Structure 1
Amino acid sequence: MSQLTERGTTLSSHGRTAARRSSAIGTAVVSGVTAAGLGLGALAVAVLLLWVASPYPDSGPSRALHLAAGLWFTAHGGGLVREATPSGIPAPVGVVPLLLAALPIWLLHRAARDTLATAALTDSDPAASAAGRPVAPRTLLGALLAGYLLVALGALLYTSTGRLTAAPLSALLAVPGTAVATFAATAWHTLGSDAAALLPDRFVRTFAALPAVLRAALTGPRLATAGKAAAAATLALLASGAALTLLGLALHAGRFGDDLGRLAADWAGGCTVLLLCLTLLPNAAVWGAAYGLGPGFTVGVGTTVGPLAVSPRPPLPYFPLLSGVPEPGPTSWPDVVLALVVPVTATVLLARYAAGDGHRSWRRTAGTAALAAVLCGVAMAVLAGLAGGALGSGALASFGPSWWRTGLAAAGWTGLAGVPGTLVLRAWRRLSARLAADGRPPGRRRYLPHLPFRRRAGRGEPSPGAGRKSNRKPNREPAA
């Protein structure tokens, strides 16, 4: 009887464990479906509101929903194909609105963070620990990805017909890639170096076989410091590029108004165009950063817009955000000086964060700055690749900066100028800390040797006059 009771208890514990696994996996799948549905729903609501506000709706709501689904794929980095063209040849649309991409990335980040938190709570449950881990965090993230891709597959089938369709191959690569990259960044931000345990066992064994120095560089505090410095430098590049873009638009305000009037004759159309310009403003910031770094960007096949010269170009589309592009010809020296603000700002911020507290060895500091420069170059290469693309065929097949030139220029500027600047800042911080410990401000120290006449008398030290031979004659008074 006791054996049957013990066997029944064992089967009950296994049943509870299986139920926990099914519930956790099902919750993860639902979270993925919810994240994808919220992204699609938000874009659908925005597009339908613009369609309702338009005084000349030339189509039904079905086309608006097709547009929302296409924008959702574009936000993940996928391309679109415009079927209705004057020439009858389908035209690709490969420019990714970076501001629009923030919506699915934020939803994926929240879903992955909640899934990892659920896995952590399950691990800390004593009952679950006694019965065995119900489900691994890697399995939960896989279930989350499966739910997200399930909705993406349905949206891809929905957008397979219409005037604006999603490129199937691009969508099949972009949506999983964006989701996996977001999951990896969320896991690293949440778990730190423990996120490596989420990788397959083959990758874990390969990482363990690396040299100890390389493993320490990839998981230690140096990587965290280099990541902060690279993020600061990248944000500085984007902010400087946005400032250059807004300055160019302000200098060509008349052209901006003319292009806006050509595209929209009523207030609803004008608001739609301005909203599109706002969505593409981060793309323009990347273009401005590439302009300041030196490689520049293209506004058509065979054209270059750089800080030193602007090559002849075909007529640009009537779009307000392109009204700030300089005219063809050599640039003036104020334009060159303004362009130099972009790499200088990035270099200063990289040195500020890479120098750390100033107490590490100069080799480690230089290595951290070099690693930060490489990470900054990689980030700018990815952003440049997403910010540009094709807007059609023929002359419009190339728009935006070159990803590899922009990344190489960002790494070169921040590396060649950032590493020496980091070492100089490290030396200054060490000097400031040493002088602060002595109680003297760093700007008023006099580098004089510690001579005997500078010491105080009365503590076993020679008096100020000791050791000197006086040239004054003794005062001899006559005896009384």
Structure 2
Amino acid sequence: MTSLLPHESRARRRSADEVRDDLATRRPLVLVAGLGGVLAAGSTLLVCLALGVAGWFLTDGGAHGAPRDGLRIGALGWLMGHGSGVRVDGVQITAMPLGVTAVCAWVLWRIGQRIGVSVSGHGPDADGVLDGRRDLVVPAAGLLLTLGYVLTAVATLTLAGTDATAPSAQRVVLWSLLLCLLAGVPGIAVGSGRAAVWTADLPPTVRAAAHVARRLLVVWSALCLAVFLLALVLDLSTAANVMGQLGGGGGAVAIVVVLGLALLPNAGVFTGSYLLGPGFTVGTGTAVTPGLVVLGPLPAFPMLAALPDEGSGGWTGWLVVVPPLVACAVVAWSQWTWPTAYYVEAAVRGVAGGVAAGVLFGIAATLAGGAVGPGRMADVAPYAFDTLIHALTSFGLGGLVGAVAMTWWQRRSMPIEIVLDGDAEDAD
């Protein structure tokens, strides 16, 4: 960060704190970024390995198999979070535990920030960056971070994969690259201070729309998880009965709880698809929508107790009004904290932010499902395309109404100079 400040006179003697700060931001780029990639992959992998060994021991006290079997299961779980899929007794499992994926992305983001701070002293200062001088600090560090992460993932795949499990190397490499590109590299850009310099000249409308999209996604995700947990609590007796039928004592309970946490983001996306209207399937020939629920035989898994009962929806058909209302409220909230006096400006912010949030949630819907077992269980997924269309419509229209309504209220209740001053501050 300090490297982005203009250089002072070399004649002035630097203090010990300045020297220490300079050394902290000019660490060897190759070493720091490369090891950062290995650390980002290795830290989450180590947690999965520990959970695998703990699960192996808890199931039967280690009477069967060996610790390496638990290590292999933990490694395969980590690889599945990178889209590898796995074959179990000849049955292909393709669903991704998005909880593992999210933790890996968060770790990459945090380590990327630390790398950015450590190498921020390399390259030109802020004046040089603004003048267009070539600055390869972020691309170089990002490349090395990605290389370390991908090599660790490939080594894990080589050691843990077998002909029987057959995880996909191509998907592991692809997802490792995507995670580094979407989480690690932005973390480096933010930590090094380059992101602040590069985005300083973005129009206020773009920044406001991004703020709307981020806030809407956070609120919508939290609401979906809350609805899922509420549905699970309301039928907790069924979940408890399923747990009792599994056997295995406390070890089985612990394993199911850990698996449930790994799949909690998936459940949130399924719930969001249900609230938006299209719904999802829990097996071939099934449908779970607000208007109609058609179920068949289900596997013994406690999280499935949150599913609604079979039959016509009744009052649940009105749940489709929730997404546009949420978007309206969130955009109005954002408009309150980031005001504008112009209706067109507010409308663009609300619609653009809502559409961006809808696209991102639609992408999440395509990733949340997949094959989870043989036969009917090869199709357990949200209706991704329909979810995307409904999200775009609900969030876009809700964002438009919320932005225009809040702008109208602010123009009536506040002196127009105050709102215009808010616009001027945003532009600065």
TM-score (norm 1): 0.73
1:273 alignment partner, one of 256, 270, 273: 256
| Kept in 1: contact 2:266–2:368 (CA 8 A) | yes
| Kept in 2: contact 1:81–1:165 (CA 8 A) | yes
1:328 alignment partner, one of 310, 325, 343: 310
Q: What does residue 286 of structure 1 align with?
A: 269
* Identity of matched residues, %: 27
Cα deviation, 1:57-98, whole Å, max 9, x if unaligned, reads: 43211221111111112223x1322242xxxxx222222222
Q: CA deviation at 1:351?
A: 3.0
Q: What does residue 67 of structure 1 align with?
A: 73
| Kept in 1: contact 2:112–2:186 (CA 8 A) | no
Q: What SS does the corresponding residue of 1:390 show, helix, strand or coil?
A: coil
Q: What SS does the corresponding residue of 2:298 show, helix, strand or coil?
A: coil
2:40 maps to amino acid: A
C-alpha change, 1:345 and 1:22, in structure 2 (3 Å) is closer
Residues in 2 aligned to 1:288 and 1:255: alpha-carbon distance in whole angstroms: 19
Task: Give structure 1 stretches of 5+ with no counterpart.
Answer: 1-19, 85-89, 198-215, 438-480
Cα deviation, 1:350-398, whole Å, max 9, x if unaligned, reads: 2321465433421111111111012111210122122211113431111
Q: CA deviation at 1:116?
A: 2.1
1:74 maps to amino acid: M
Q: What does residue 143 of structure 2 align with?
A: 142
Q: What does residue 183 of structure 1 align with?
A: 184
Q: CA deviation at 1:236?
A: 2.4
| Count of paired positions | 386
Q: What SS does the corresponding residue of 1:310 show, helix, strand or coil?
A: strand
2:52 alignment partner, one of 17, 22, 47: 47
Q: CA deviation at 1:250?
A: 2.5
Residues in 2 aligned to 1:338 and 1:79: alpha-carbon distance in whole angstroms: 35
Q: CA deviation at 1:165?
A: 4.1
Q: What does residue 20 of structure 2 align with?
A: none
1:39-438 equivalences under 5 Å are 39-57=44-62, 58-76=64-82, 78-84=83-89, 90-123=90-123, 136-161=137-162, 163-187=164-188, 189-190=190-191, 191-192=194-195, 194-195=197-198, 219-311=202-294, 313-333=295-315, 335-338=316-319, 340-354=321-335, 357-434=338-415
> In terms of mean alpha carbon deviation, does 390-399 or 282-291 score higher?
390-399
Q: What does residue 29 of structure 1 align with?
A: 34
Residues in 1 aligned to 2:328 and 2:56: alpha-carbon distance in whole angstroms: 45
Q: What SS does the corresponding residue of 1:298 show, helix, strand or coil?
A: strand
Runs of 4+ deviating beyond 6 Å? 132-135
Q: CA deviation at 1:295?
A: 0.8
Q: What SS does the corresponding residue of 1:82 show, helix, strand or coil?
A: strand
| Kept in 1: contact 2:138–2:185 (CA 8 A) | no
Considering only aligned residues, what root-mean-square deviation do their CA atoms show, in Å?
3.0
Residues in 2 aligned to 1:294 and 1:396: alpha-carbon distance in whole angstroms: 22
Q: CA deviation at 1:294?
A: 0.5
1:95 maps to amino acid: A
Cα deviation, 1:331-361, whole Å, max 9, x if unaligned, reads: 121x234553344223311232146543342
Q: CA deviation at 1:306?
A: 0.4
| Kept in 1: contact 2:26–2:118 (CA 8 A) | no
TM-score (norm 2): 0.82
| Kept in 1: contact 2:59–2:248 (CA 8 A) | no
| Kept in 2: contact 1:240–1:341 (CA 8 A) | no
Residues in 2 aligned to 1:377 and 1:65: alpha-carbon distance in whole angstroms: 39
Higher RCO (CA < 8 A, seq sep 6+): 2
Task: Give structure 2 stretches of 5+ with no counterpart.
Answer: 1-24, 419-428
Q: What SS does the corresponding residue of 1:166 show, helix, strand or coil?
A: coil
Q: What SS does the corresponding residue of 2:49 show, helix, strand or coil?
A: helix
C-alpha change, 1:122 and 1:168, in structure 2 (3 Å) is closer
> In terms of mean alpha carbon deviation, does 94-103 or 58-67 score higher?
94-103
C-alpha change, 1:355 and 1:265, in structure 2 (3 Å) is same
Q: What does residue 9 of structure 2 align with?
A: none
